[in-house]
Amino acid sequence: MTAQGGGGRAALFFLFLLAAYPLWPYVVPLFAGAVLCAVGWRTQLAFERRFHVPRMVGAAVHALVWLAIIAIPASLIIQTVAANLGPLIAKWQSGAPLFTVPARLAQIPFIGAWLSRRLHELNAKILLHYLQEHAGFIKDSLAHVWILFLHTVIAALAVLSLGLRGEHVDAELHRIAHTLWGARGPEVIAIAMRSARAVMIGLIGVGVAEGVLIGASYSLARMPMWTVWMVATMLLSAIPFGAGAIVALATGWLMLNGHLLAGILVAAWGTIVITAADLALRPLVTGAQSPVPFLLLLLSILGGAKVFGLVGVIAGPFFVMVASGLWQAWLREPAA
């Protein structure tokens, strides 16, 4: 019986691997959807009780709220940029300079004249040559935009699916934990939940800080709909290079619309804020409720992003904090 039981478990494990293999390309949005559902689960239950709506409605609203939070700022930014493409294309086709140097900057000895000459050379011909040389990179970037959109939809569908059967998922997790760790199963679940909460607090806290600080530069630069750009910076700060991409887009938009100095200042300030947030603030906020050392958390965030990709920003510190919590719990046990 033991041999048969062991063989059956091995076959079941192999079957799970086969089932997970075709889902591997979508592990990032599925994991993100699970985290988002866990974060908003209590709010969904409160919404259902407050308005007396069925579970299907509560789960659908839960998924749509997350989808709107991510999609609406992105769509508004795309509309803002697209509205200015027509005049810019006409300007490039006319052979006029793409950028103009502010009068005060142009009056600086040596630097002003050199900068004016260099920017005057950036006409449509130069731009076309640049686009041809970097066509592959541009194509890959557009493909990543499509992948990000697809993953956002999949994450929202994961929130919907898990939100429909949240109690069942919780019971199944406790049953699995009990099977794997016996009486210590609930403690493992509790440590994992505390770690996940700490990681999400770090993501949200850093996102808000980056968005507010960089958003102030958008406001000072008098960008139209600067609050939308600020919200987009907050949301994409959870993704490696996400906030940097928004800052780069804002910088390009300012420069192409004749605000060269404002664009340079936004780029410089954004770089400072993002660097400080990723290397200092994120590990500090994430580890505020954890005994994990600062350096270990920093390396888990950076290494997680490198090893696991986008999901590594969450998975890296999460696994390290869970391992640390289990280690601390083992140390607290009396010696046999």
What residues contact 293, with CB distance under 8 A and at least 6 apart? 287
- 192 token code pair: 């994992």
- Whether 122 shows a pLDDT value over 60: the answer reads no
Q: Which own/partner pairs from 326-331 qualify as long-range (CB within 8 Å, at least 24 positions apart)?
A: 326/188, 326/191, 328/291, 329/184, 329/187, 329/191
User: Is a pLDDT exceeding 70 seen at residue 280?
Assistant: yes
* 284 pLDDT tier (thresholds 50, 70, 90): confident
Q: Is 108 helix (H, G, I), strand (E, B) or coil?
A: coil
CB atoms inside a 10 Å sphere around CB 81: 15
Handedness of CA 306, 292, 277, 76 (dihedral sign): positive
Instruction: Give whichever of 149-153, 165-169, 183-187 has the largest mean pLDDT.
Output: 165-169
Cα–Cα distance measured from residue 122 to residue 99, given in angstroms and rounded to the nearest whole number:
8
Residue 1: per-residue pLDDT? 45
Residue that wins the pLDDT comparison between 132 and 256 = 256
pLDDT band at 62 (very low <50, low <70, confident <90, very high): very high
Cβ–Cβ < 8 Å for 122, 99: yes
Mean pLDDT of the chain: 78
- What does the pLDDT read at residue 304? 79
Check pLDDT > 60 for residue 124: no
- Residue 8 is predicted with a pLDDT of 65
Share of the chain above pLDDT 70, in %: 74
Contact 115, 106 (CB under 8 A): yes
Provide the pLDDT for residue 49. Answer: 94
Output the pLDDT for position 59. Answer: 95
pLDDT in tens, 1-60: 444 555 666 777 778 778 778 887 788 788 778 878 887 888 999 999 999 999 999 999
Average pLDDT of span 125-152: 63
As a whole number, mean pLDDT of residues 269-277 equals: 92
